[in-house]
A and B are shown apart, each in its own frame.
Chain A
Amino acid sequence: GQQLNQSPQSMFIQEGEDVSMNCTSSSIFNTWLWYKQEPGEGPVLLIALYKAGELTSNGRLTAQFGITRKDSFLNISASIPSDVGIYFCAPGGAQKLVFGQGTRLTINP
C-alpha cells in the first residue's frame, strides 16, 4: 500500500531560527499541498505545488515539489511565535488528498 512519511514529527526551536520539514512517499502524486493547523481549528492552505521541480514561496515559507513527484519539503525562515502549530503535507491524486502525520512546531521566545 501507499506510504507517506512526514518528518520530523516535532520541532522545538528558538524564535528567529529557520525550519525545514519534508514528506516522502512510495507513490507518485500530481500535486503537493502544505497546510497549517492550529488547535481546535481546521487546516489552512499555505502553498500548493503542481509541477515536479516547482519551487514556490509564500512570504517566509518556501516549498518544493520533488522532481520524482514522490517528495516535497517546506521551509520557514526566521520563525516567529505565530508560526506555532502543526504543519501537514497533503499530496493529491485521484481527486483527493492524503495527509501526512504532521510536524508539530513549538517556538521558544
Chain B
Amino acid sequence: GAVVSEHPSWVICKSGTSVKIECRSLDFQATTMFWYRQFPKQSLMLMATSNEGSKATYEQGVEKDKFLINHASLTLSTLTVTSAHPEDSSFYICSASRLTYEQYFGPGTRLTVT
C-alpha cells in the first residue's frame, strides 16, 4: 500500500511555456499532499503543502503565482510551472500523507527548460 505516482516522469519544454505535473495516490486517500524540488546533489526542499479543497500553503520564497497548485480530490494534486525558465529546471517530487507525518513519495518528474 501507499503508492504514489507522478506524471510525466520527465518533460522538456521551451522557455516561457507552462508545464503541468500530476501527482496521484493510487491506493489510499491522502489528506495532504506536498510538493518538493530537488537540485542535483542537494536535499529536498519543500515548496508547498496542499490539502484537498483548500488553497495550498507555500514556503517562504516560493512564488505562488509561478507554481500553481490545485488539489482537486483526495487522490490528485497538480503543480503547474507557469512561464518556465531555465532556472526552473529541476527534479520535482510530490508526496502524500494520511493523517500522520509519514509521507509517501512519487518517483519524481525531471523538468528541463530550454
Is the pair B44, A88 in contact by a Cβ cutoff of 8 Å?
yes
Write the nearest CB–CB distance from A16 to chain B, whole angstroms: 27
Write the nearest CB–CB distance from B110 to chain A, whole angstroms: 7
Is the pair B43, A99 in contact by a Cβ cutoff of 8 Å?
yes
Q: Mark B94-114, 1 if CB is under 8 A from A, else 0.
A: 010000111111111010000
Count of A-B contacts judged by CB separation below 8 Å:
54
Q: Mark A46-75, 1 if CB is under 8 A from B, else 0.
A: 001010000000000000000000000000
Query: B81 on the interface (CB 8 Å rule)?
Result: no
Query: A101 on the interface (CB 8 Å rule)?
Result: yes
Q: Mark A18-49, 1 if CB is under 8 A from B, else 0.
A: 00000000000011010100001111110010
Count of chain B residues with a beta carbon within 8 Å of a chain A beta carbon: 22
Q: How far, in angstroms, from A99 to B78 measured CA to CA in the complex?
A: 22
Q: Is the interface of B mostly helix, strand, loop or mixed?
A: strand
Q: Which residues of A contact B6 (CB under 8 A)?
A: 42
Q: How far, in angstroms, from A35 to B101 measured CA to CA in the complex?
A: 13
Write the nearest CB–CB distance from A18 to chain B, whole angstroms: 24
Is the pair B105, A42 in contact by a Cβ cutoff of 8 Å?
yes
Given contacts A96-B34, A96-B49, whether A33 and B43 have CB atoms under 8 Å apart is no
Q: Closest residue of chain B to A35, judged by CB?
A: B105
Interface of A toward B, CB cutoff 8 Å: 30-31, 33, 35, 40-45, 48, 50, 88, 90, 92, 95-102
Pick 11 A–B contacts, CB within 8 A, sort by A.
Answer: A33-B102, A41-B108, A42-B106, A43-B93, A45-B103, A45-B104, A48-B102, A95-B101, A97-B46, A99-B45, A101-B43
Interface of B toward A, CB cutoff 8 Å: 4, 6, 32, 34, 42-46, 49, 93, 95, 100-108, 110
Other CB < 8 Å A-B pairs besides A48-B102, A90-B103, A101-B42, 19 of them? Answer: A31-B101, A40-B107, A40-B108, A41-B108, A42-B93, A42-B106, A42-B107, A43-B93, A88-B44, A95-B49, A95-B101, A96-B46, A96-B49, A97-B34, A97-B46, A97-B101, A99-B43, A99-B45, A102-B43
